[in-house]
Structure 1
Amino acid sequence: MPIAWDVSKNPAGLPKLPLRLGPLQVIGLRDPDEGDWARLRTLQYADLYKSSRIRFAGHGIAAIMVAALYLHTIPAWILGIWLIALLGAVANSGRVDRHFANISRRQMTRLEYRKQAGTVALCAVPWITALLFFAPVGSSTQHFGLWTLVAMLVAGGAATSSTAPISTIVFDLIVGVAGVSSFVISGDYVFGIASFAFVVTIVAGALNSARTNLSARIAEAGVAEKDEVVSLLLREFEEKESDWLWQVDNNRRLRSVSPRFAFALGREPADVEGERFIQLIGGDNFESGDVPRSLHDLVERLKRRESFSNLLVQAVIGEQRRWWELSGTPIRDSAGNYVGFRGVGSDVTEQRESDEKIAYLARYDTLTGLPNRLMLTEALGEAMRYSAQWRTRCAFLMIDLDRFKSVNDSLGHLVGDRLLAKVSERLNSVCTDNERCGRLGGDEFAVVIRDATDHTRVDRIAETIIEHLSQPYIVDNHTLFIGASVGSAIGPRDGQSVETLMRNSDLALYRAKDDGGGVHCTYVPSLHADAEERRTLELSLRHAIAKEEMHLNFQPVVNAQSEGIVSFEALLRWTSEEHGMVSPAKFIPLAEDTRLIVPIGKWVLHEACRQATRWPEEIKVAVNVSGEQLLEPNFTATVVEALAATGLPANRLELEVTESVFLRDGRTANEALEAIIALGCSIALDDFGTGYSSLGYLRSIRFSTIKVDRSFVQGAAQESPESIAIIRAVVAMAQSLEMQTTAEGVETVEQADMIRELGCTKIQGYYFGRPMEASEAYSLVAKRRNAA
Structure 2
Amino acid sequence: MAILGLRDPAEGDWDHFRAIQYTGLARYAILRVVTNLVLGLMVCQLFAGFVPLWQLAGWMAMLGGALYFPAIVYRQSGMVNHDHVARRFVLQLVAATSLIAFVWAIPILLFAPQAGPMELATVWTILAALVVGGTLLLNALPLGAVLFNLVLMVASIIAFARVGDIVTIGAIVCFSIMLALSGFENARAFLMFKLSEVGLAEKDEVVSLLLREFEEGDADWLWQIDASRRIVAASPRFAFAAGREAKDIEGMPLTQLIAGKAWESGNLPPSLHVLSDKLTKRESFSNLVVKVQGEDKTFWWELSASPRYDDNGAFIGFRGVGSDVTESRESAEKIARLARYDTLTGLPNRLQLTEALDRALNECEQWKTRCGFLMIDLDRFKSVNDTLGHLVGDRLLAQVSLRLRSLMGKDEMCGRLGGDEFAVVMRDTGDGQRIGDLAHRIIDVLSRPYEVDEHTLFIGASIGSAHGVRDGRTVETLMRSADLALYRSKDEGGGRHNVYEPKLHSHAEERRVMEMALRKALEKDEFTLAYQPVVDAASESLVGFEALLRWHNPEFGQVSPARFIPLAEDARLVVPIGNWVLHRACCEAVSWPADVRVAVNVSAEQLYEPDFVETVVEALSETGLAPQRLELEVTESVFLREGSRAGETLDRILALGVGLSLDDFGTGYSALGYLSKTRFTTIKVDRSFVQGAARGMQESIAIIRAVVAMADSLGMATTAEGAETENEVRVIRELGCKKIQGYYYGRPMGAEDVAEMFSDHRAAMFG
TMscore range, shorter length: 0.5 to 0.7
> What RMSD, in angstroms, separates the aligned Cα atoms of the two structures?
2.8
- Structure-2 separation of matches of 1:683 and 1:249: 91
Shift of 1:618: 1.0
Which range is displaced more, 372-381 or 289-298?
Answer: 289-298
Equivalent residue number for residue 73 of structure 1: none
**Are positions 1:582 and 2:559 aligned together?**
yes
Q: 1:396 aligns with which of 373, 377, 398?
A: 373
Cα deviation, residue 653, structure 1: 0.3
Taking the aligned partners of 1:358 and 1:724, their CA distance within structure 2 comes to 60
Change in Cα spacing, 1:310 to 1:584, as seen in structure 2 (3 Å) is same
Structure 1 residues 567 and 305: CA distance shift in structure 2, 3 A: same
The answer to whether 1:431 aligns with 2:405 is no
Aligned counterpart in structure 2 of residue 776 of structure 1, from 753, 758, 761: 753
The match for 1:330 among 297, 303, 307 is 307
Q: Tell me what 1:347 maps to.
A: 324
Q: Pairwise mapping of residues 59-74 of structure 1 onto structure 2 (< 5 A)? A: none
Shift of 1:620: 0.8
* CA distance in structure 1 between the aligned counterparts of 2:431 and 2:264, rounded to whole angstroms: 49
Counterpart check, 1:475 vs 2:452: yes
Q: Does 1:704 align with 2:713?
A: no
Q: 1:358 aligns with which of 335, 352, 355?
A: 335
Question: Which letter does structure 1 place at the counterpart of 2:668?
Answer: G
In the alignment, which residue of structure 1 is the partner of 2:542? 565
On the 8 A contact 1:552/1:573 being kept in 2, the answer is yes
Question: 1:652: Cα distance to partner?
Answer: 0.6
| Shift, 1:302, TM fit | 2.0
SS at match of 2:749: coil
- SS across alignment from 2:761: helix
In the alignment, which of 668, 673, 677 is matched to residue 650 of structure 2? 673
The answer (yes or no) to whether the contact 1:405–1:664 under 8 Å persists in 2 is no
Q: Which amino acid aligns with 2:474?
A: S
Match of 2:588 among 599, 611, 614: 611
Aligned equivalent of 1:622 = 599
For 1:764 and 1:519, locate their aligned partners in 2 and report how far apart those are by CA, in whole Å: 34
The 3 A distance-change label for structure 1 pair 253 and 768 is: closer
Residue 664 to residue 783, structure 1, CA distance change in 2 (3 Å): same
What is the rounded CA distance, in whole Å, between the counterparts of 1:759 and 1:288 in structure 2?
85
How far did residue 725 of structure 1 move? 5.6
Q: Is the 8 A contact 2:215 2:222 kept in 1?
A: no
Question: Is the 2:258–2:292 Cα contact (8 Å) retained in structure 1?
Answer: yes
Distance 2:350 2:537 in 1: 59
- Are 2:485 and 1:508 equivalent residues in the alignment? yes
Give the SS at the match of 1:286: helix
Deviations 1:150-202 (A, max 9, x none): xxxxxxxxxxxxxxxxxxxxxxxxxxxxxxxxxxxxxxxxxxxxxxxxxxxxx
One-letter amino acid of the counterpart of residue 365, structure 1: D
AA at the equivalent of 1:359? A
Relative to 1, partners in 2 of residues 1:390 and 1:274: Cα closer, same or farther, differing over 3 Å? closer
Alignment partners' CA distance in 2, 1:498 and 1:736: 60
Distance 1:622 1:287, change over 3 A: closer
CA shift for structure 1 position 362: 1.5
How far does the alpha carbon of each residue in 1:746-767 deviate from its partner, in whole angstroms, 9 at most, with x for none?
4455654554455433233334
Distance 1:252 1:764 in 2: 94
Q: What is the rounded CA distance, in whole Å, between the counterparts of 2:385 and 2:629 in structure 1?
A: 37
Q: 1:742: Cα distance to partner?
A: 2.6
- Distance of aligned partners of 1:358 and 1:751 in 2 relative to their CA distance in 1, 3 Å threshold: closer
1:294 and 2:261 correspond: no
Q: State how 1:181-220 maps to structure 2 within 5 Å.
A: none
* Contact 1:330 1:342 survives alignment (8 Å): yes
TM-score (norm 2): 0.68
State the shift of 1:425 in Å.
0.9
The DSSP-based 3-state class of the residue aligned with 1:422 is helix
TM-score by length of 1: 0.66
d(CA) in 2 for partners of 1:267, 1:719: 86
Match of 1:591 in 2: 568
Question: Residue 688 of structure 1: which of 658, 661, 665 is its match?
Answer: 665
Contact 1:395 1:490 in 2 (8 A): yes
Measured after TM superposition, the shift of residue 338 of structure 1 is 1.9
2:421 to 444, 447, 451: 444
Report how far residue 557 of structure 1 moved: 1.9
Give the whole-Å Cα distance in 2 for the aligned partners of 1:358 and 1:628: 38
The answer as to whether partners of 2:262 and 2:268 remain within 8 angstroms in 1 is yes
Are positions 1:380 and 2:380 aligned together?
no
Deviations 1:453-493, CA, capped at 9 Å, x for gaps: 24332222222212222222222222222222222112222
Give the C-alpha shift of residue 619 in structure 1: 1.0
Q: CA deviation at 1:372?
A: 1.0
Counterpart residue number, 2:468: 491
Give the aligned partner of residue 63 of structure 1: none
Structure 1: how far apart are the matches of 2:554 and 2:691?
36
What is the CA–CA distance in structure 2 between the aligned matches of 1:536 and 1:517, rounded to whole Å? 24
1:346 offset after TM fit, Å? Answer: 1.9
Q: Aligned residue pairs: how many?
A: 559
Moved over 6 A (4+): 230-236
For residues 261 and 289 of structure 1, the distance between their equivalents in structure 2, rounded to whole angstroms, comes to 24
Paired position in structure 1 for 2:68: none
Query: In the alignment, residue 273 of structure 2 is paired with which amino acid?
Result: H
**Distance in 2 between the 1:255 and 1:436 partners?**
50
Q: Deviations over 1:656-688 (max 9, x none)?
A: 122333344584433332222222111122233
Q: Which runs of structure 2 are paired with 1:136-151 in the superposition (5 Å)?
A: none
1:233, distance to aligned residue in structure 2 (A): 10
What SS is found at the alignment partner of 1:548? coil
- Amino acid in the other structure paired with 2:426: I
Matches of 1:240 and 1:540, distance apart in 2? 70
Partner Cα separation in structure 2 for residue 264 and residue 301 of structure 1: 22
| Partner Cα separation in structure 1 for residue 575 and residue 496 of structure 2 | 30
8 A Cα contact 2:216 2:237, kept in partner: no
How has the CA–CA distance of structure 1 residues 531 and 332 changed in structure 2, closer, same or farther, with 3 Å as cutoff? same
Letter of the aligned partner of 2:238 in structure 1?
F
One-letter amino acid of the counterpart of residue 276, structure 2: V
> Which of the pair has more CA radius of gyration?
2
Which amino acid in 2 is paired with 1:641?
E
Residue number in structure 1 paired with 2:81: none
Q: 2:623 matched to 1:650?
A: no
Q: More deviation in 542-551 or 702-711?
A: 702-711
Distance of 1:726 and 1:767 partners within structure 2 = 22
Q: % of aligned pairs identical? A: 65
1:254-279 deviations in Å (ceiling 9; x for gaps): 33333333332334445544443333
Give the distance between the partners of 1:692 and 1:246, measured in 2 at CA.
Answer: 70
Alpha-carbon separation, structure 1, partners of 2:605 and 2:554: 26
- Whole-Å separation in 1 of the counterparts to 2:582 and 2:210: 75
Shift of 1:607: 1.1
CA contact (8 A) 2:215 2:237 kept: no
Distance 1:758 1:326, change over 3 A: closer
Which residue number in structure 2 is paired with residue 175 of structure 1? Answer: none
Give the counterpart letter for 2:258 in structure 1: I
Instruction: Describe how 1:738-757 pairs up with structure 2 within 5 A.
Output: 738-747=715-724, 752=729, 755-757=732-734
Asked if structure 1 preserves the Cα contact closer than 8 Å seen for 2:660 and 2:681, the reply is: yes
Give the 5 Å matches for 1:540-555: 540-555=517-532
1:312 alignment partner in structure 2: 289
